[in-house]
């Protein structure tokens, strides 16, 4: 900070030097606002052109962790020097890194919007992800996420995923869902046959796609935690609902609240903040949880 007693000329020199230095140094995130105590651990951000400049007050729900689904998707790089294609807008990573809801970041690597294609190219995506992991961003990156989702219908997962995951840095996470309603214990059994012991699980609760109730999602989480431990489990709470004719809408506060209450005790990540959780919805949810205190 420039002190008041400095002469004008030295002050100008200092400011110019600071400006030049800023071109070469990445300043650490500020994160000056303290997140409120709340039931939510973090939010997910599925990066795309529409949400390249995310704005929100998710810290009012307690969120201070950010899961970035991917930094490269369909060869589109959302940071300079990454990907073969440029997005319409690049995210302002310096600003994002200073947000109170991004104090702890899990960085998603290389993925594909189409699940079938991502699975077919899983080893190629893993190699691309390994190259991306060393990219310097002004974020507090605490781990990595490989954005090729798995479920029990993917029969080749047990063969190809261990090889793909072996190429990637740790700490490392993947996401898991089950739309076949096999049950939490059976899902845990399947995962235990191939998932490396040092890879964590983001479990998609399935409520947003009408795969199960919030209570059944809790049963799944309990079964997964019993097998793998709570430290290896995070729950993605789906903050959306299907629309007739296709697509999704944001869930209402009345719809999301039971999901959050059912999964209390686990690290809850809302999917996804920029697309579905606007300020009005955040206010309604934070008010609801504040009333019980």
Binned at pLDDT 50, 70 and 90, residue 291 comes out as: confident
90, 83 Cβ separation under 8 angstroms: no
CA distance 76 to 78: 6
CA distance 49 to 116: 22
Long-range contacts of 72-79 (CB under 8 A, 24+ apart): 72/109, 72/110, 72/111, 72/128, 72/132, 73/47, 73/48, 73/110, 73/111, 73/112, 73/113, 73/147, 74/112, 74/113, 78/47, 78/52, 79/135, 79/137
Task: Specify the residue for token string 């903040």.
Answer: 273
Between the CA of residue 133 and those of 11, 108, 160, 234, 239, what are the distances in Å?
39, 9, 20, 21, 29
Tens-digit pLDDT profile for residues 136-159: 899 999 999 999 999 999 999 999
CA distance 139 to 93: 7
Q: Is the pLDDT of residue 10 over 70?
A: no
Between the CA of residue 212 and those of 149, 204, 272, what are the distances in Å?
18, 11, 19
Instruction: Return the biggest CA–CA distance within the chain.
Output: 73
- Could you tell me what percent of the chain has a pLDDT over 70? 88
Q: How many CB atoms lie within 10 A of CB 155?
A: 7
Tens-digit pLDDT profile for residues 93-120: 999 999 999 999 999 999 999 999 999 9
Tens-digit pLDDT profile for residues 254-269: 999 999 999 999 999 9
Say how many residues make up the chain: 293
What's the mean per-residue pLDDT of the chain? 90
Tens-digit pLDDT profile for residues 215-227: 999 999 999 999 9
Q: Provide the whole-model pTM.
A: 0.88
Q: Which of 251, 253, 237 is nearest to 285 (CA)?
A: 253
83, 75 Cβ separation under 8 angstroms: yes
177, 271 Cβ separation under 8 angstroms: no
**Least-confidence region, from 21-30, 40-49, 124-133:** 21-30
Q: Which of 274, 270, 185, 182 is nearest to 221 (CA)?
A: 185
Strands (E), 13-146: 42-45, 65-68, 72-73, 76-77, 104-108, 110-111, 141-145
Between the CA of residue 239 and those of 96, 159, 258, what are the distances in Å?
21, 32, 11
CA distance 127 to 45: 23
The residue ranking higher by pLDDT, 20 or 171, is: 171
CA distance 125 to 187: 25
Between the CA of residue 82 and those of 73, 167, 185, 192, 201, what are the distances in Å?
10, 18, 40, 34, 26
Structural domains present in the chain: 33-290 (3.20.20)
SS (H, E, C) 65-96: EEEECCCEECCEECCCCCCCECCCCCCCHHHH
Give the SS3 label for residue 108: strand
The residue ranking higher by pLDDT, 26 or 50, is: 50
What is the model's pLDDT at position 36? Answer: 76
What is the model's pLDDT at position 108? Answer: 99
Q: Is the pLDDT of residue 26 over 60?
A: no
């Amino acid at each position: 900070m420039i002190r008041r007693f400095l002469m004008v000329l030295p002050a100008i020199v200092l400011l110019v030097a600071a400006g030049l230095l800023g071109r070469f140094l990445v300043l650490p995130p500020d994160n000056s606002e303290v997140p409120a105590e709340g039931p939510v651990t973090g939010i997910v951000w599925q990066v795309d052109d529409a949400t390249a400049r995310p704005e929100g007050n998710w810290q009012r729900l307690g969120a201070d962790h950010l899961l970035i689904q991917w930094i490269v998707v369909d060869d589109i790089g959302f940071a300079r020097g990454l990907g073969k294609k440029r997005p319409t807008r690049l995210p302002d990573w310096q600003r994002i890194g200073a947000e109170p809801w991004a104090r702890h970041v899990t960085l998603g690597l290389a993925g594909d919007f189409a699940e079938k294609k991502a699975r077919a190219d899983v080893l190629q995506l893993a190699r691309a992800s390994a190259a991306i992991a060393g990219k310097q961003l002004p974020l507090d990156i605490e781990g990595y996420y490989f954005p090729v989702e798995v479920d029990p219908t993917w029969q080749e997962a047990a063969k190809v995923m261990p090889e793909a995951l072996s190429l990637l840095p740790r700490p490392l996470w993947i996401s898991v869902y089950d739309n076949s309603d096999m049950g939490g214990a059976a899902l845990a059994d399947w995962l235990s046959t191939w998932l490396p012991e040092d890879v964590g699980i983001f479990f998609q609760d399935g409520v947003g796609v009408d795969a199960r109730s919030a209570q059944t999602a809790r049963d799944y989480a309990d079964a997964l935690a019993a097998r793998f431990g709570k430290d290896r489990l995070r729950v993605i709470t789906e903050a959306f609902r299907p629309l007739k004719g296709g697509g999704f809408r944001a869930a209402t506060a009345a719809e999301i609240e039971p999901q959050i209450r059912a999964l209390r005790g686990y690290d809850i990540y809302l999917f996804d903040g920029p697309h579905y959780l606007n300020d009005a919805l955040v206010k309604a949810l934070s008010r609801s949880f504040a009333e019980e205190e």
